[in-house]
Chain A
Amino acid sequence: MTQPAPLLEIENLEVTFRTEAGNVTPVRGVNLVVHAGRTTALVGESGSGKSVTSLAVMGLLPRPAGRISGGSIHYRLKSGEASNLVTLSLEGMRKLRGSEIAMIFQEPMTSLNPVLSVGEQIAEQVRYHTGMGSAAAMRRAEEMLGLVEIPDAVRRATDYPHQMSGGMRQRVMIALAMSCNPRLLIADEPTTALDVTIQAQILALIDRLRREHGMGVLFITHNLGVVAEVADDVTVMYAGEVVESADVRTLFRKPRHPYTHALINCLPAHAKSGSDGRRFVPSIPGTVASAAGAHGCKFEPRCSHATPYCQASHPALETMDGTHTIRCWRWSDL
């Protein structure tokens, strides 16, 4: 089976931040692929670098402290040609953000303008990116609010963000993102702040939009339940680098990296009964290591399969078979 050229292809991405204590590299060695019409989940715990990766793709790294210091981000444009976002100008990036790539965040309240009605906010963006007149842009905004299943959309368009619930605000964010027909949607923990019954609605909505519009979705989350629910492909990050990447079924059924394996096993849903009858979850010792320092494998201090070699030398990302990649010295004998 040959896959068509991916919509987004990140290779060897490295991000550096300048701090008072010198340069830090929260992300290095990120390889990631998103296909049109499919969802790639980017999973990791806090400090894994998943959000920094998404900001790098959007060209939204805080300036001037943060910059892409290595690698490439190839995006396939509507016209079919590939564009390296790392070398794109600020102006070029701004055009792309409105017309091709859109992003939604965890906390919609901080991403929306509190003094503009939600309809005006969407209309403003439509006018900026399409040059549409005010009345037409407002109608487009109302249409978008309907698209994200906000009941009574025409009336709700005049509401301000504070008059809406968290779930409704996230729908507004999605409407804002969808208003320019993006081909790639980056969703950074879009349901983390929501209750589960509302989360289910938002996940179903994003999935419907992906299917109907053939969008590629890069879905960033720490929740493996959500990953199993939404993802076609999964990339796992640990301490700033990709450690494993595979299709969702392979990743859950046959995880090969010790971290992925342990992460899936430590979920309460996978609790085991101990010899004393008490139920427990097999946990990972220690805490997430900082991305800086360490010559060897970043996961080595917490890995139950680690050898002295793992401590001394840093493993590269290898392809096991097809699209299954792994960063571990010991994958072939585990």
Chain B
Amino acid sequence: MSDAPLVKVRGLTKHFGKAPALVHAVEDVSFEIERGEVVGLVGESGSGKSTIGRLILRALDLTAGAVAFEGREIGGLSQRDLRPLRRRMQMVFQDPFASLNPRLKVKDIIGEALDAHGLAQGPARLRRIGELLEIVGLEAQHASRFPHEFSGGQRQRIGIARALAVEPDLIVADEPVSALDVSVQAQVLNLLQGLRQRFGMAMLFISHDLDVIELMCDRIVVLYLGRIMEVGPAEEVCRRPRHPYTQALLAASPKPDPDAPRTRQLLQGDIPSPLAPPSGCVFRTRCPLASEACARAVPAMRSAGPDHRFACIHETEQADP
């Protein structure tokens, strides 16, 4: 086995459409996912977090940049050459109502994944499906039911079982709990934590919810309008955020504590359109620290500590609370 990270993304760029309606969805994004590591992508709508997930899975073609899986470049591979890799990377979707085929029984939803890669046949197939259902906290006998017979949380478990069926090294989980009620959300988060511990797979965990991201992830990538604002260890980024956007995002997230200070810096205005992102730093139009220099060049990544980097030219250190 090589020492290369499981996934290494360099200069990842994705544009949709063409001028004058060119959408800059992802712009020059670089980061790594180590084996067994959970990396969180956090950002608001239009930040490009879902697009990055799909680019890594090669569900979308790259506009520019490179994606390496275990040191092997996969950005330019044909769909046919990608096939063996599909078994190593799986996806869990946000909406458990839309992501399961309503006409298939659970055993066929999960079985499809097994069949596609020729993993289990005959009685072994059904045994394996039952086992997968039990791993995600359902019962083997649920295999012959249809998706509509399950609640949202249970459907999300089926989606997770389908992803696990091929024993992947990487799971891309795109807002896997956003559609669920809080009490059910907690169950699914605990399940994912347990599975990660049991099987040691890496995860790219995409969410807009910083509390969920901090709980689930080892490292966090903070995105705004397709660019990385800050990257670092989860606790470090949440406790000592250095980018003004990360600071604002944390301040804007409502805390479930009535005595938490309510005076918070409000970001003015809306997220600009990705059709015409601002020049220089994309955050400058809403940034409380913005100056003329911010418009001139895209800020380079600066170090804020071990493995912790941020893209801002200003002095941003906050006093410890």
Contacts and interface: CB of A to CB of B under 8 A. Distances in A.
Interface in A199-217: 199-201, 203-204
A271 interface: yes
A267 B182 contact: yes
Given A252-B258, A280-B193, A281-B215, A287 B184 contact: yes
Contacts of B154: 287
A195 B271 contact: yes
Contacts of B260: 228
A167 B266 CA distance: 14
Contacts of A276: 197
A328 B258 CA distance: 24
Nearest to B252: A200
Range of interface residues on B (Cβ < 8 Å): 35 or more
B190 A281 contact: yes
B258 A228 contact: yes
A282 B186 contact: yes
A271 B217 CA distance: 13
Contacts of B251: 200
A195 B44 contact: yes
A165 B270 contact: yes
A262 interface: yes
A103 interface: no
Contacts of A204: 266
A264 interface: yes
A153 interface: no
A284 B258 contact: no
Contact of B266 (A201, A249, A281): A201
Interface in B32-50: 44-45
A168 B209 CA distance: 22
A229 interface: yes
Interface in B170-209: 181-187, 189-190, 193-194, 197, 208-209
Contacts of A313: none
Given A195-B44, A197-B248, A278-B193, A252 B183 contact: no
Interface in B211-248: 211-212, 214-215, 248
Contact of A229 (B152, B186, B254): B254
Interface residues of A, number: 47
A223 B254 contact: yes
A224 B249 contact: no
B148 interface: no
B296 interface: no
A196 interface: yes
A268 B214 contact: yes
Interface string A258-280: 00001110111111000010111
A291 to B, nearest CB: 15
A307 interface: no
Interface in A164-220: 165, 167-168, 195-201, 203-204
Contact of A269 (B185, B211, B262): B211
Contacts, number: 126
B129 to A, nearest CB: 23
Contacts of A284: 183, 186-187
A195 B197 contact: no
A183 B266 CA distance: 27
Contacts of A226: 254
A62 to B, nearest CB: 23
Interface in B85-129: none
B254 A195 contact: no
Nearest to A44: B181
A269 B45 CA distance: 22
A267 B249 CA distance: 18
Contact of B254 (A225, A280, A283): A225
Nearest to B189: A281
B190 A267 contact: no
A224 B286 CA distance: 27
B159 interface: no
Given A280-B190, A283-B183, A270 B256 contact: yes
B193 A268 contact: no
Contacts of A45: 181-183
A280 B183 CA distance: 13
Interface of B: 44-45, 151-154, 181-187, 189-190, 193-194, 197, 208-209, 211-212, 214-215, 248-249, 251-260, 262, 264, 266-267, 270-271, 286
Given A266-B183, A268-B185, A268-B211, 6 more contacts: A196-B249, A197-B44, A197-B249, A200-B254, A283-B187, A287-B184
27 contacts: A165-B270, A165-B271, A197-B267, A197-B286, A201-B267, A225-B253, A229-B262, A231-B258, A266-B185, A267-B256, A268-B189, A269-B211, A269-B255, A280-B189, A281-B186, A281-B189, A282-B186, A283-B183, A283-B184, A283-B186, A283-B189, A284-B183, A284-B187, A285-B187, A287-B184, A288-B181, A288-B183
Q: Ordered nearest first, which 7 A-B pairs have the shortest CB separation?
A: A225-B254, A283-B186, A195-B44, A266-B186, A200-B252, A45-B181, A284-B183
